[in-house]
Amino acid sequence: MKLHLLLAALLLSLNCAAQERVERWGRFELTLHATPGNNPFDTELTATFTGPNTTYTVRGFYDGGNTFRVRFMPTSEGEWRYATHSPLPALNDKKGHFTCTPPTAGNHGPVGTDGLYAFRYADGTRYYPMGTTAYNWMHEPDSLVARTVQSMAQARFNKLRMLFFVQNFDPAHPEPARFPYEIKKITTDANGKRVYEWDYTRFNPDYFTHVEECIDRLAAIGVEADLILFHPYDEGRWGFDRMPVEARHRFLRYATARLAAFRNVWWSLANEYDFMRTLTVDDWNGFARTVVQNDPYRHLCSIHSHTAKYYAYWLPEFTHASVQDQAPVEGFGRAATVRNIYRKPVVFDEVCYEGNMDNRWGSLSGEEFVYRMWQGLIAGTYVGHGECYMVEGPNDYSHDFLAVGGTFQGEAWRRIGFTLDILNALPHSLQLADSSWDTQTSTAGDGYYLIYLGKEVPDAWTFELPVKNAGYGRLREGMRFRVEVIDTWNMTVTPCPVTFETGAPVRDRIFDRLHRSVPLPSQPYLLLRITAAE
């Protein structure tokens, strides 16, 4: 027997196994063994973790066989002690300790909100969500899963919207390899259609383990897993869209017990929640409360609805707005209104998708998506990507990244890294410098502006800024600026050799004292980066 197998056998023979060292925002896992009772998923098990200045109580979970686990994400470095609590003696009063070490490279901790409108990793690094969507990537064959991860890394996306429950996007698509519940029975109806009967009180730990591995693979490439907990896209195939309310709460308790310790998890209560007609808004608010009450780390949490059906994101359970609506990013300044109302970060997670589908939501050009993204960004909001190209005919979903992941087919994804570089260079997150009066000039602090020209194709831009600069210092005479012309589509940055100098303000605007201009290449989708000159 090789040494590592021996070690594994040794660990298994003990009642309890866990790490001695865990990096900050890494995952501590305590494995316990007990003979399961009637429904081991109903076993009560919690653990209290006490570290430097903090105590957390987290729920454990049954993981199949005679295995129970408790997972924990330590939030500060130093010594942590823990003790378990359970009516089951074999799971009760298990005590131990571990050392939380500094995070390793690439681990910035979970993303949280930063002030009213921005996001930040727990280590202080600013986070600009640049997400895309691959609803079912986790439920596809391994080779496709691997390709999706590769594509995400290549494009430098840092967030992925994904469905926990498999979607019936194509009735001809094969059944998934796993289901999240035990099957009570499978029958066939009068039309020969397969009918599943699920045991909503018994989960399939293998399904969760697979989801967890996928989430970890995203963490390894710096991608946040925007995990959509419920969705309506079932159309009678498996019936998960008609799960009873109590089964949903049970699911949320189990899912949070397993997943909350993953630092890159975001909770999205639903996609198009309003299409699940049997559920009320009160039900959804209840689901949100269950998630938040069972997530000691308070991961980002939102809910997504149908086009222009806005949710009450002001409720305390929701950390940000996750909006489906293209209207606010189709023109200048509109997205700022949404932000001004909610006073929370606004992510337009769906503004229609790049693709060639025969419908109005999946047929944007890459240019139009990048345009909408910048309309959202300059207004201090964030815009999510998605693409759906049908390759071999209108119902060939095999290359549809939106549905299955895989390899990007379009054009917008190639601009994500370039966009991120522009954002990461900002001293502060963006907002309109003079909201409602100037819808094109975005400020990132004192002496740092982005002006987006969108679809306008002027020959030149005459230097002009608003005197008001959001909450930063107002502009005065004698300030010097440099201008770079950024082509957001062709990904070029061209500095203008002139150093501009402001004259006296004219009411609410300020101009170069010689009214000089920046020549422009007569292309759409230009962005001017204006920064203070020495």
The residues that touch its own copies, with contacts defined as CB under 8 A, are 307-310, 312, 314, 325-328, 331, 333-334, 336-338, 340-343, 358-360, 435-437, 439, 507-508
SS3 assignment, position 370? helix
Q: CA-based Rg of the chain, rounded to a whole angstrom?
A: 26
The two three-digit tokens of residue 484, written as one number = 């770079």
Helix (H, G, I), strand (E, B) or coil at 391: coil
Give whichever of 419 and 431 is closer to its own copies, judged by the CB atom. 431
Q: Are 178 and 166 in contact (CB under 8 A)?
A: no
Residue 443 near residue 432, CB atoms below 8 Å: yes
**Rounded to whole angstroms, how far apart are CA atoms 369 and 251?**
35
Min dist CB 129 to its own copies, Å, is: 20
Q: Closer CB to its own copies, residue 126 or residue 309?
A: 309
- CA-CA-CA-CA dihedral for 244, 249, 254, 260, to nearest 10: 130
Least separation in angstroms between residue 66's CB and its own copies is: 50
- Measured from the CB atom, the residue of 200 and 313 that comes closer to its own copies is 313
Least distance in angstroms from the C-beta of 452 to its own copies: 16
In the complex, minimum distance from the CB of residue 124 to its own copies, in angstroms, rounded to a whole number: 28
509 neighbors 464 (Cβ within 8 angstroms)? yes
Smallest gap from residue 311 Cβ to its own copies (A): 9
As measured in angstroms, the least distance from the Cβ of 512 to its own copies is: 21
Give the residue with the Cβ less far from its own copies, 265 or 323.
323
C-alpha to C-alpha distance for 285 and 409, rounded to whole angstroms: 38
Map residue 95 onto helix, strand or coil: strand
Q: What is the DSSP letter of 176?
A: P
What are the angstrom distances between the C-alpha of 217 and each of 71, 243, 454, 500? 18, 29, 36, 48
Work out how close the CB of 336 gets to its own copies at its nearest, in angstroms, rounded to a whole number: 7
Amino acid identity for residue 198 in this structure? W
Q: How far is the CB of 437 from its own copies (least distance, A)?
A: 7
Give the C-alpha distances (Å, rounded to integers) separating 25 from 71, 86, 103, 260, 449: 12, 26, 7, 11, 35
Q: Based on CB atoms, which residue is closest to its own copies, 407 or 436?
A: 436
CB-CB neighbours of 199 under 10 Å: 15
> Helix, strand, coil shares of the chain as percentages rounded to 5?
25, 30, 45
What gap in Å lies between CA 212 and CA 216, rounded to an integer? 6
Q: How far is the CB of 389 from its own copies (least distance, A)?
A: 19
Task: Output phi, psi for 108, to 5 deg.
Answer: -100, 5
Shorter beta-carbon distance to its own copies: residue 15 or 310 = 310
Nearer to its own copies, 439 or 488 (CB): 439
CA 298 to chain centre: 14
Angle at which helix 205-220 crosses helix 245-259, to 10 degrees, equals 50
| Smallest separation (angstroms) from its own copies to the CB of 308 | 4
Residue with Cβ nearer its own copies (226 or 325): 325
Q: Of 213 and 508, which CB lies nearer to its own copies in the complex structure?
A: 508
- 3-class DSSP state for residue 165? coil
Measure the CA–CA gap between 453 and 371, rounded to whole angstroms: 10
> How far apart are CB 128 and its own copies at their closest, in Å?
23
Contact 80, 49 (CB under 8 A): yes
Nearer to its own copies, 81 or 360 (CB): 360
Kindly tell me which of 80 and 452 has the beta carbon lying closer to its own copies: 452
